[in-house]
Structure 1
Amino acid sequence: MNLKVLFGFHAVTVRLKTAPQTVAELFVDAGRRDARMRQFTERAQAAGVLLQDSDDERLTRLAGSPRHQGVVARVQPLKLPHTPDGVLEAVQAEGRGPALLLVLDGVTDPHNLGACLRVADGAGAHAVVAPKDHAAGLNATVAKVASGAAETVPYVVVTNLARALADIKDHGLRVIGTSDDAERTLYDLDLTGPVALVLGAEGKGMRQLTRTSCDELVRIPMAGAVESLNVSVAAAVCLYEALRQRLPKE
C-alpha cells in the first residue's frame, strides 16, 4: 500500500486521535524537548505508535518542507467517500442532517485548499468537491494547513464539474454559486435545506459553465474598499451562515 506523508502537530495529532492504527512510521525531532513535544509524544505512546528519533535535515527531506515542526508521519490513506454519490449516500445513511457541500472551482493554491478544508470541517460540511484539472490536489502542504481536516473531510475530485453539479442536483441539493455581481446576497437565502455552495478562485471567480450550472447566484456584501475576499475567507462566511441557520433555535 502506498503511504502518504503528514507533518506538523495538528495534522499528525488528528490522525493519532482518529485512526492511530493507520500510522506506519512516526518521526520526531530528537533535539526538541519542549512541553508541546512532550505532550505529543505522550499521546503517540498512549496510542501505541512507535516513535523514531530523527534530526531536522531528515525531517525536512521526509516532509518535503522545513515547516514540519519536528513531527513527520507516514500513514495509510483513509477510506473516505471519493464520489459525490458516495458522500451523499453516507450523509443519508448516517442521518447527519441536510447535506452541505463546498464546491471549489479553479482553486490552485494548496494553502487556500488547506484553509478551505479546515473551514469545512469546522462548519460541519460533508465534503469539498473540486475538478481534477486546474485545482490543487491533496498533498502534505494541504494537510499541514488543514490542521487535520484533510483527514476528516472527504475531498472529492471530479473529472467534469458541470456534470457533477447536475448529479448533485439530482440528489435534491440546491446549487448556490457566489458572484460579486449577483443581485441577492447570501443573507437573503434559506440555507437550512440540502445545499452545495460554489466558490471560484479569487480574482477569476467561477468558470462560465460552472456559473450557468448553478441554480442561483448570490454575493457576499462588501462594506469596505476591497472588492473581494480570499476564497477560504469567503468559504468561511458562506458555510458558517449555513451552520448558523441550521443551529437549533432556543
Structure 2
Amino acid sequence: MGNSFKLKQYLVPGAFALVTGATDGIGKAIAVELAKTGFNLVIHGRNKEKFELVKQELIAVNPACKVIPFMHGEWNLPAEIPLTVLVNNVGVGPIERFITSQDIESTIALNVTFPTKLTRYVLPLMKAPGLILNISSYAALMPPPYLAVYAGTKAYNNAFSIALARELKNVKVMSLIVGSVHTASNKKPVTFMRPSAATFAKHVLKKVGSGKKRIIPYWPHALQIFLISLLPERWIDKATKAAMEKEI
C-alpha cells in the first residue's frame, strides 16, 4: 500500500511516463508495470514494429492506456501532455578485448549523451511532482575488466542522478544499481540471483518513495555486491577477469 501510494502521487489526471529502451527487456517490463498502475506511456525505441507490439501489450493490461511513440533521434514530444515520470533505461555494453573507436563513441552516445540531453529536454515539460529513474549498474561500483567504457558510463549515470537529486526541488531522482537480469541481451537462465525483467521491474517501482538517491532495487543483488566487497581485492580481480573472459 505504502509504496503503491508513493508511486501514485505522480499519477495526476492523464499522467504520462516516458520510458527509454522500452521495446525490450527492463524498459519494456517497467512500462508494463506503469501501465498497470494507470499511467499513459511514451515509448522510446528504434524499431516501429516492436513499438506496435509493445503498444498492444500495454493496452492489453490497461485498455485505457494511451501510448505515444518516441523514435530514437526524433525530439518531438508533445509539450501539452502531463508528463510526470522519466525512466532513463536504454543502454549498451559491448564486451570486447579491444573495443573499437566506433563502439566507444556509440556506447558513450547512448549511455551518457542521450539520457543527459533527454533529461534536459524533458525537465521543462514535467509536471510537479515529478520522478526520474536512471538505470545504472553494479559495474559503476565494481568495474569489471573488458567493460571499462560501459562501467565509466554507468558511473556517470550514478553521479548525474545524485547531483540532480540534490539540485531539483519538485522532481525526485533515483539512481538504480542493477545486477544481472534476464533480458533479450542477457539470455542466461532466470535464477534467484538473476530475476526476469518482469520481476525486476516490480522491485524497481516498489522502491519509489524510499527517500534514497541511490538504491539497489533487487535485494539479492545488494547481498551479492556486499559479499563481493568483503573479499580481498586480488581475489576480486582474478575472479572477475576469469568470468569476463568466459563472456568473451
Answer with 1 or 2: which has the greater Rg. 1
Higher helix share: 2
Question: TM-score, normalised on structure 2?
Answer: 0.33
